[in-house]
Amino acid sequence: MRMFRLDRDEPLFEIASYGRAGPGRRLSLGLMEQIRRTVTRTPEVMVKVSGGSGSSSSRGVAAHFNYISRKGDLDIETDDGERLIGKEAGQQLIRDWNLDLDEDRQRPDLFAVNRRAPPKLVHRIIFSMPAGTPPQKVFGAVRDFAREEFGSKHRYAMVLHTDEPHPHVHVVVKAVSEQGVRLNIRKETLRRWRQEFARQLRARGVEANATDRRVRGQSRAPKLDSIFRAAQRGESSHMTARVRDVVRELKAGSLGRSGAARLQRTRMEVVRGWQAVRDRLLAEGKHQLADQVSRFVSQMPPPRTEKQWLAAELIERARPSRTRDDPFVR
């Protein structure tokens, strides 16, 4: 369980390891600052890689550029600082990056027995901050992050969106570098990117943090409204089946026990780690921060599996019209 690198030289803070290491580990100033940001719930950065087939064809890439530029109304800033605008900006980048040639070179043999999905031509990444964050500071942080991470290696372009409450930047990165090296994005890559994005924001005076959601006592809630709407409209047999499974398990009293047990074990490790950190802070005379850690741990919501999130929402939706025949009444 990790809280991430504070700067390029700071060792990783593994919260669970503090619960196992025993006394004696001193906390650096950098680590104490990360602890303060976490327990005071400093806004967390979001970095997300978009999936789907739109990254594997020049037509899909053109459609994505058209989308993020709002059909050419918004500037697309390139890696060399050029600003492109207009409906043809995406096609110009496809030509400049030779994506149409790359697509031809990697086209699978139509008669191959074991055909694989075509590799990505680009990666589509979103960098986001909560509502109220100055959009231009978000854009500046992403610009400097991209320059340090991809500059002179991977071609990239980006667009700032401010039409939603949370300012966010769409970044399109060519999947193969100028040196012919393919960019592979793993979980650890995303963790490092989140930490670097937060660091860039803090350099601009924006409070930002990047910690694992489990360290913050959060289990991932599914998009409940979209799940229920899809199930009600019959648009997704998968979503409908998920809701029906939860209803069946609620009636049987056997809701997601195995997943819940795993979440509980993880939570116990996290709590032991935080308790060890609190004890270390007390030993070093940092009583106020130690008290904040204690309050933070005591206010953690109970861990929930996806099925438990769905069950809670089902029960809440049924509450106003409960009757004796209501299947959720126990």
pLDDT at 314 over 80: no
CATH number at residue 129: 3.30.930.30
19-33, 46-60, 102-116, 137-151: least confident range: 102-116
Element (H, E) at 262: helix 257-283
pLDDT at 250 over 80: no
Domain final position from 203, 229, 256: 203
What the block records as the tokens of 172 is: 């399109």
45-54, 164-173, 235-244, 315-324: least confident range: 315-324
Higher pLDDT, 180 or 226: 180
- Together in a domain, 37 and 50: no
57-66, 250-259, 281-290: least confident range: 250-259
- Together in a domain, 129 and 231: no
Complete edge-to-edge strand list for the sheet that includes strand 168-174: 46-50, 122-128, 168-174, 156-161, 76-78, 83-84
- Together in a domain, 81 and 127: yes
Q: Is the dihedral of CA 139, 145, 148, 151 positive or negative?
A: negative
- Together in a domain, 81 and 10: no
- Together in a domain, 198 and 315: no
Angle at 303 between CA 302 and CA 304, to 5 degrees: 115
- Together in a domain, 56 and 171: yes
Domain final position from 203, 238, 253: 203
Position 302 scores a pLDDT of 85
pLDDT at 54 over 70: yes
- Together in a domain, 154 and 238: no
Position 227 scores a pLDDT of 60
pLDDT at 109 over 90: no
pLDDT at 110 over 80: no
Q: For residue 321, what pLDDT band results from cuts at 50, 70 and 90?
A: low
- Together in a domain, 2 and 65: no
Element (H, E) at 173: strand 168-174
pLDDT at 223 over 80: no
**Structurally, how many domains does the chain consist of?**
2
Average pLDDT for residues 296-309, to the nearest whole number?
84
Position 66 scores a pLDDT of 96
pLDDT at 93 over 60: yes
Angle at 300 between CA 250 and CA 252, to 5 degrees: 10
What is the model's pTM? 0.79
Alpha carbon 54 to its chain's center: 20
Quick one: what percent of the chain has pLDDT higher than 90?
A: 54
Higher pLDDT, 257 or 273: 273
Element (H, E) at 191: helix 187-203
pLDDT at 138 over 60: yes
- Together in a domain, 285 and 321: yes
Which residue range(s) make up the domain with 165? 46-203
CB contact set of 161 (below 8 Å; sequence gap of 6+): 68, 74, 167, 168, 169, 170
- Together in a domain, 68 and 197: yes
Element (H, E) at 50: strand 46-50
Domain final position from 140, 171, 203: 203
132-141, 170-179, 228-237: least confident range: 228-237
Average predicted confidence (pLDDT) for the chain: 82
- Together in a domain, 13 and 51: no
Are residues 208 and 43 in contact, defined by beta-carbon separation less than 8 angstroms? yes
- State which of 92-106, 230-244, 281-295 shows the largest mean pLDDT: 281-295
Query: Nearest to residue 84, comparing CAs of 156, 168, 178, 164?
Result: 156
pLDDT at 292 over 50: yes
Average pLDDT for residues 139-143, to the nearest whole number?
98
The strand pair at 122-128 and 46-50 is best described as antiparallel
Render 89-115 in DSSP notation, one character per residue.
HHHHHHHHTTHHHHHHHTPPPTT-SS-
Average pLDDT for residues 112-117, to the nearest whole number?
58
- Together in a domain, 235 and 123: no
Please report where in the chains the tokens 């802070």 appear, as a residue.
281
Collapsing DSSP states into helix, strand and coil, what is residue 159? strand
